[in-house]
């Protein structure tokens, strides 16, 4: 590429493309870096407009060092996703102030391709993919314009022609991209993963439950996960998606007990019915896999804890697709460990006296009858299910059951577990999600579907799910949250009205789900299934990898070799080569042959400048013309004269 300076149109084109490439990172970069980048871009644009001089090198170094130091103090690292991208953005801004020629601009263009790829470290959505494809098209158009004979002139007709050519090149590369995506062995592991940034934002369920925890989530219409069932789909009231289990209670907050590596209790299936499904989890930065209660088996990606919670082998820090199965009916924990039973009976030493007194009266009943009596009591108390319960005092259970009588699922589950423990029945609270919104062949489970219920342990039966919310608001469990609370308390997408806006949103989500399933969710396991269907086994074996890479080398190498052969420069005539050596000797004396200057004109000018060598120059010219246009007989003589010539 020529080292000539960028003109005005080329500089503004480069600034516009770089700004568009950095735009998706705007929400991730700190405000001071955004302000600095805006200043650097604006400074360079102003210098281009007024044709001013670029800042000296001694000023660029402290600017660059200050930006890098700021990134380090902001992120405490220059690596990782956020810190690394911030450093790249800072370097792009600083590089603009020393970009004079096309060689410097070419470095920024290649860096733009890398910055485009870094966006996939944060988002792999279909919208982001479409935007980044457009960015690749623009950067490629800029690159083509600089390499074309017409150049990047800023004229619309020329720019559109170059844009169309860049699009054709991308379409030609599409089959190779698809082939690599489908066939290149996908290896899940640290090789393909960057260390995640500490303090990443978390959404969804927490590892503790207090009054207000779940009612706040009910106003969040973000997708928690999507589920596709294979075959029979459970009824709405069976859709309990199990998350964290809360054992410990301090009088206001339920929290998880310390995790152990103990195996789960024995699960006994009742009947043959199983539900097979694939769940695609959105990132929530916890290891919880939120399986349908109760998992029939442990998947390779996770394990069942002693509290029957399915957890992954690492945090769910990216979209994750897992294939699972669930039991329709089961018994579990009939031989539960004594320490877990004892923990499920612990209550604070004081507080909620009325609830304790009520539960004490149930101790004369059998444990199963105590559960039934508690459910009847909840039904008689005229409790209300609402997203806006009052703020209760220290005796939360008494205030809820006997005074305010308004609550959300965490109030019902927490109060029920309290009175069960007070009545001598082991109980705990389970957090998760309940239900789901059907969208064609899959379910959408949103953060607003978060729910809490209770489990009680009965001798000879084990753990039994009991949902006190069902006694008060059965519509919440059977039909969903929108059927149990006023519409004006819900996010727009969760309301029952089925207008065209909601239908459009669901149509978009269907496209997003297809992208997630077949592109983002194209895991090593799905690749093995696809290859098995094509009769290819051992995808990750060394033999297959060798065949694949060899075939890929042939597939790409043969066309590339053919194109290079077609584009090879023409072989120069030996007489022409001799003349060029002669011209270089004259150039050493300051006589440069012009691009449009013929041999006779150049020789005439050389004789005037070097009269002492005029005879030798005439001899070389005469023999050159005879060799070039008359035949090959004088070629040896020409080469001899050129060797002997000295200016």
Q: Specify which residues 446 forms β-bridges with.
A: 223
Neighbours of 459 (CB within 10 A): 12
Beta strand 406-407 pairing with 384-385:
parallel
Dihedral (CA of 387, 253, 288, 475) sign: negative
CA angle 295, 378, 355 (to 5 degrees): 105
Q: Which positions are annotated as active-site residues?
A: 409, 451, 467
Reference 250, options 418, 364, 59; nearest CA is: 418
Cα separation values, 476 from 444, 451, 469, 484, Å? 16, 10, 8, 5
Helix axes 102-118, 80-96, angle to 10 degrees: 160
330 backbone dihedrals φ, ψ, rounded to 5°: -160, 165
* Cβ proximity of 432 and 451 under 8 Å: yes
Token reading at 319: 């979209």
Reference 229, options 325, 155, 162, 315; nearest CA is: 325
Count Cα neighbours of 12 within 13 Å in the Cβ-side half-sphere: 10
Reference 527, options 279, 176, 180, 183; nearest CA is: 183
Token reading at 614: 């005029």
Q: Which residue is it, tokens 């070629």?
A: 635
Task: Please give the full DSSP string across 146-198, using - where no structure is assigned.
Answer: HHSSS-----HHHHHHHHHHHHHHHHHHHHHHHHHHHHSPP--SGGG-PPPPT
Beta strand 223-230 pairing with 274-281:
antiparallel
Task: Please give the full DSSP string across 560-624, using - where no structure is assigned.
Answer: HHHHHHHTPPPPPPHHHHHHHHHHHHHHTTT-PPPTT--HHHHHHHHHHH-GGGHHHHHHHHHHH
Reference 44, options 28, 23, 63; nearest CA is: 63
Reference 427, options 626, 303, 246; nearest CA is: 246
347 backbone dihedrals φ, ψ, rounded to 5°: -130, 155
Q: Specify which residues 288 forms β-bridges with.
A: 311
* Cβ proximity of 265 and 333 under 8 Å: yes
């Amino acid at each position: 590429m020529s080292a000539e300076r960028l003109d005005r149109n080329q500089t503004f084109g480069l600034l516009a493309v770089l700004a568009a490439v950095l735009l998706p990172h705007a929400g991730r970069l700190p405000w001071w870096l955004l302000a600095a980048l805006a200043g650097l871009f604006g400074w360079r644009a102003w210098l281009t407009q007024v044709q001013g001089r670029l800042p000296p090198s001694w000023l660029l170094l402290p600017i660059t060092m200050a930006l890098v130091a700021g990134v380090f103090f902001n992120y405490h690292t220059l690596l990782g996703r956020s810190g690394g991208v911030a450093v790249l953005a800072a370097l792009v801004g600083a590089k603009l102030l020393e970009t004079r020629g096309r060689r410097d601009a070419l470095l920024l263009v290649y860096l733009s391709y890398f910055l485009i790829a870094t966006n996939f470290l944060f988002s792999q959505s279909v919208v982001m993919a479409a935007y980044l494809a457009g960015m690749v098209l623009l950067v490629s158009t800029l690159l083509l314009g600089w390499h074309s004979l017409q150049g990047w002139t800023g004229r619309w007709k020329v720019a559109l022609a170059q844009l169309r050519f860049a699009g054709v090149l991308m379409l030609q590369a599409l089959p190779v991209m698809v082939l690599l995506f489908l066939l290149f062995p996908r290896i899940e592991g640290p090789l393909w993963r960057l260390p995640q940034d500490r303090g990443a934002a978390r959404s969804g369920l927490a590892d503790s439950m207090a009054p207000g925890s779940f009612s706040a989530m009910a106003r969040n219409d973000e997708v928690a996960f999507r589920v596709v069932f294979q075959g029979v789909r459970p009824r709405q009231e069976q859709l309990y998606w199990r998350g964290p289990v809360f054992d410990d209670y301090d009088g206001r907050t339920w929290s998880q007990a310390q995790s152990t590596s103990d195996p789960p209790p024995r699960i006994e299936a009742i009947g043959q019915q199983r539900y097979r499904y694939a769940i695609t989890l959105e990132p929530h930065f916890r290891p919880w896999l939120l399986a349908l209660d109760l998992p029939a088996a442990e998947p390779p990606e996770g394990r069942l804890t002693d509290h029957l919670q399915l957890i992954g082998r690492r945090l769910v820090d990216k979209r994750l697709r897992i294939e699972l199965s669930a039991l329709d009916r089961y018994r579990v924990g009939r031989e539960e460990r004594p320490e877990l039973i004892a923990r499920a009976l612990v209550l604070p030493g004081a507080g909620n006296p009325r609830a304790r007194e009520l539960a004490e009266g149930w101790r004369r009943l059998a444990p199963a009858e105590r559960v039934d009596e508690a459910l009847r009591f909840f039904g008689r108390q005229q409790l209300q299910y609402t997203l806006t319960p009052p703020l209760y005092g220290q005796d939360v259970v008494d205030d809820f059951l006997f005074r305010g009588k308004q609550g959300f699922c965490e109030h019902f589950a927490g109060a029920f577990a309290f009175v069960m423990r007070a009545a001598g029945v082991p109980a705990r609270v389970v957090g998760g999600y309940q239900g789901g919104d059907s969208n064609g062949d899959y379910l959408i489970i949103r953060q607003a579907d978060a729910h809490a219920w209770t489990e009680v342990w009965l001798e000879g039966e084990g753990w039994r799910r009991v949902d006190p919310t069902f006694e008060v608001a059965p519509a919440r469990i059977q039909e969903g949250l929108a059927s149990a609370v006023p519409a004006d308390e819900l996010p727009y997408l969760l309301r029952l009205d089925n207008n065209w806006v909601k239908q459009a949103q669901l149509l978009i989500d269907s496209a997003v789900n297809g992208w997630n399933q077949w592109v983002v969710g194209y895991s090593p396991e799905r690749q093995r299934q696809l290859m098995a269907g094509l009769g290819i086994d051992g995808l990750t074996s060394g033999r297959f990898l060798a065949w694949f890479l060899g075939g890929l080398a042939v597939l790409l190498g043969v066309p590339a070799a053919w194109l290079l052969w077609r584009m090879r420069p023409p072989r120069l005539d030996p007489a022409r080569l001799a003349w060029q050596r002669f011209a270089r000797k004259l150039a050493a004396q300051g006589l440069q042959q012009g691009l449009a200057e013929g041999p006779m004109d150049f020789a005439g000018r050389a004789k005037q400048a070097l009269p002492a060598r005029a005879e030798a120059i005439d001899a070389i010219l005469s023999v050159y013309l005879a060799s070039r246009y008359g035949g090959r007989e004088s070629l040896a003589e020409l080469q001899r004269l050129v060797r002997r010539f000295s200016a």
